[in-house]
């Protein structure tokens, strides 16, 4: 008789209890793992069989291999010593929500394919909109990533500027142009590639000394393109740029966009979350005038990856850009959101569930307290750096990310760059913390981002000790 049906409820229960214990233990004792995996390229793949098993295997065996083979190849993003890129958190409530969404396995493509998934997405995003102090004219959609949210925004801009493109494609239309600063995330340029605007159609506006877009240069670029017969359609401003977390002057950029009738998109993938904190509302100045905004709960709002919140005052335009309903997906309900109409993908995960768990489990106060603490820790670190000879802060610190470098006097730029790269490697090799770097106008800098829910002053202090030790070791070598 061929096997049919799933494993038994008892076997699931047994493995499930073991798994929850494993996760709780993992979070309680992160120090047992190096944050940055020590695996060599190919090592994990070689440890695994070349083909799937012929015979069934027990969940116990699979869990054992998970621990012995997979975990050593994991870089521990959910470790409080993770201070690289933008540190993120898969929080306990978020993980529970994620588990339930896998268990339900609904596809939120149409309202009727799971009314609760659609309506919870509407409600949760409206809660988030209020927490972020955005006007009630904005409504939202959850996508997987900010890259996709920004691509959707650019597609909506293209639709608003030239509705015929949906039917006829780009041929025959004047070349479209989009604008962002030289500090914008590469996802803006990727969106332009995807939408047929291209890298050459993406105008990179120079940033100022504090890495913010210069609105006067934006205006010049738009005027130049119009004079050349091109078609400006879209501007991306960033609140919390990837390298230095700078805040573009959204208010002045909004003036330019309104003057020329361009779609203004605000990429607040990381920094936008800070608008929940009353004294950080300034980062959001002018954002209410944007056409669309992206904030990633999977970055700095304790929600397991992936979860990107897209808000727009013009969701009707997003819908017009994407809606295409085949016969088999026609439904009779009116006045409902069929979220498949708002993007490229049909199938959609029930992502709102984990965000709902997170917002409820911490509440506004809990979220504000945690974000405030991360910002406080970043300013502590900034102070330690400023007070230490041979070290310097490389950019303003508006949020919880600090860019800095070791810069002893009398050393040429090339050597300073090499020393900073060596310091990063040396610190990461300890396995205690993981930091990253970036290049700012030719200078290699160290970049430390605080964003994990369990990162404390002790972790940041330890990272600073390790950095100073590394600088001494690199100098001595």
Ligand X SMILES: Cc1ncc(COP(=O)(O)O)c(C=O)c1O
Binding site for ligand X (CB under 6 A): 86, 145-147, 185, 187, 238, 240-242, 267, 269-270, 296, 308
Q: State the nearest-atom distance from the C-beta of 174 to ligand X, in Å.
A: 28
Burial 207-220 (b: 16+ CB within 10 A, else e): beeebbbbbebbbe
Cα angle value 310/316/319 (rounded, 5°): 75
CB count within 10 Å of CB 438 equals 16
Residue 183 Cβ vs ligand X, minimum distance, rounded to whole Å: 9
| Inter-CA distances, 233 with 217, 263, 266, Å | 16, 6, 14
Nearer to ligand X, 80 or 240 (CB): 240
Work out how close the CB of 305 gets to ligand X at its nearest, in angstroms, rounded to a whole number.
8
Shortest approach of ligand X to residue 251 CB, angstroms? 19
Is the Cβ of residue 246 or residue 338 nearer to ligand X in the bound state? 246
CA distance 331 to 312: 25
Q: Which is nearer to ligand X, 81 or 240 (CB)?
A: 240
Nearest Cα to Cα of residue 419 among 406, 438, 435, 409:
406
The distance of closest approach from Cβ of residue 252 to ligand X in the complex, given in angstroms and rounded to an integer, is 19
Cis peptide before 306 (omega within 30 of 0): yes
Determine how many CB atoms are found less than 10 A away from the CB of residue 117: 23
Give whichever of 185 and 319 is closer to ligand X, judged by the CB atom: 185
String of DSSP letters for 181-201 = ETTS-HHHHHHHHHTT--STT
- Residue 279, burial from CB neighbour count under 10 angstroms (0-12, 13-18, 19+): exposed
Q: Which is nearer to ligand X, 250 or 422 (CB)?
A: 250
Question: Toward ligand X, which CB reaches closer, 113 or 241?
Answer: 241
CB of 84 to ligand X, least distance (A): 11
Label residue 132 exposed, middle or buried (CB < 10 Å: 0-12, 13-18, 19+): buried
Residue closer to ligand X by CB (options 119, 144) is 144
The nearest distance, CB 451 to ligand X, in angstroms, is: 11
Smallest separation, CB 247 to ligand X (Å): 11
Residues 156/292, Cβ–Cβ less than 8 Å:
yes
In the complex, least distance from residue 4 CB atom to ligand X, rounded to whole angstroms: 40
- Whole-angstrom distance, CA of residue 400 vs CA of residue 86: 9
Provide, rounded to whole angstroms, the least separation between the CB of residue 82 and ligand X. Answer: 14
Do residues 324 and 274 make contact, with C-beta atoms less than 8 angstroms apart? no
114 vs 308, beta carbon nearer ligand X: 308
Bridge partners for 237 per DSSP: 266
210 three-class SS? coil
Distance CA 155, CA 157 (A): 5
**CB-nearer residue toward ligand X: 99 or 146:** 146
d(CA 102, CA 81): 28
Residue 457's contacts (CB-CB under 8 Å, 6 or more residues apart) are 377, 380
DSSP 67: I
**Cis before 38 (ω within 30):** no
348: its two tokens: 């959609």
Looking at the Cβ atoms of 378 and 419, the one nearer to ligand X is 378
Task: Tell me whether residue 124 or residue 145 sits nearer to ligand X (CB atom).
Answer: 145
Q: Rounded to the nearest whole angstrom, what is the least distance from the CB of residue 285 to ligand X in the complex?
A: 18
């Amino acid at each position: 008789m061929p096997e049919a049906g799933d494993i038994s409820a008892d076997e699931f229960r047994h493995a499930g209890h073991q798994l929850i214990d494993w996760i709780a233990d993992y979070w309680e004792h992160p120090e047992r793992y190096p944050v940055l995996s020590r695996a060599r390229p190919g090592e994990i793949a070689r440890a695994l069989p070349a083909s799937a098993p012929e015979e069934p295997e027990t969940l116990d065996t699979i869990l054992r291999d998970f621990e012995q083979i997979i975990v050593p190849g994991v870089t521990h993003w959910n470790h409080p010593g993770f201070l690289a890129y933008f540190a993120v958190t898969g929080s306990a409530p978020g993980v529970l929500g994620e588990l339930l969404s896998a268990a339900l396995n609904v596809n939120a493509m149409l309202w009727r394919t799971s009314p609760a998934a659609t309506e919870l997405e509407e409600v949760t995003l409206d809660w988030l909109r209020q927490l972020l102090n955005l006007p009630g004219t904005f409504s939202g959609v959850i996508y997987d990533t900010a890259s996709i949210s920004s691509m959707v925004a650019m597609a909506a801009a293209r639709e608003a500027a030239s509705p015929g493109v949906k039917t006829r494609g780009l041929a025959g239309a004047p070349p479209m142009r989009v604008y962002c600063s030289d500090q914008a995330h590469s996802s803006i340029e990727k969106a332009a590639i995807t939408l047929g605007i291209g890298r050459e159609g993406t105008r990179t506006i120079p940033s100022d000394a504090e890495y913010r877009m210069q609105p006067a240069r934006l205006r010049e670029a738009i005027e130049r393109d119009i004079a050349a017969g091109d078609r400006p359609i879209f501007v991306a401003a960033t609140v919390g740029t990837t390298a230095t977390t700078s805040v573009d002057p959204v208010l002045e950029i909004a003036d330019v966009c309104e003057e020329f009738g361009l779609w203004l998109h605000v990429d607040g993938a990381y920094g936008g979350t800070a608008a929940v904190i009353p004294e950080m509302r300034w980062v959001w100045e002018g954002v209410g005038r944007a056409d669309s905004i992206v904030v990633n709960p999977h970055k700095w709002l304790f929600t397991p990856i992936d979860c990107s919140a897209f808000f727009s005052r013009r969701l009707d335009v997003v819908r017009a850009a994407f809606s295409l309903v085949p016969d088999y997906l026609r439904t009779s309900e009116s006045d409902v959101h069929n979220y498949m109409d708002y993007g490229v993908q049909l199938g959609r995960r029930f992502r709102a569930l984990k965000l709902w768990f997170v917002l409820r489990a911490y509440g506004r106060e809990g979220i504000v307290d945690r974000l405030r603490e991360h910002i406080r820790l970043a300013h502590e670190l900034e102070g330690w750096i400023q007070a230490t000879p041979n070290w310097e802060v490389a950019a303003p610190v508006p949020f919880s990310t600090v860019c800095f470098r070791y810069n002893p006097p009398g050393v040429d730029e090339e050597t300073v760059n090499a020393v900073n790269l060596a310091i990063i490697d040396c610190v990461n090799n300890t396995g205690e913390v993981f930091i990253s770097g970036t290049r700012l106008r030719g200078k290699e800098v160290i970049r430390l981002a605080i964003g994990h829910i369990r990162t404390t002053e002790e972790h940041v202090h330890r990272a600073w000790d390790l950095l100073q030790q590394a600088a001494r070791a690199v100098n001595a070598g």
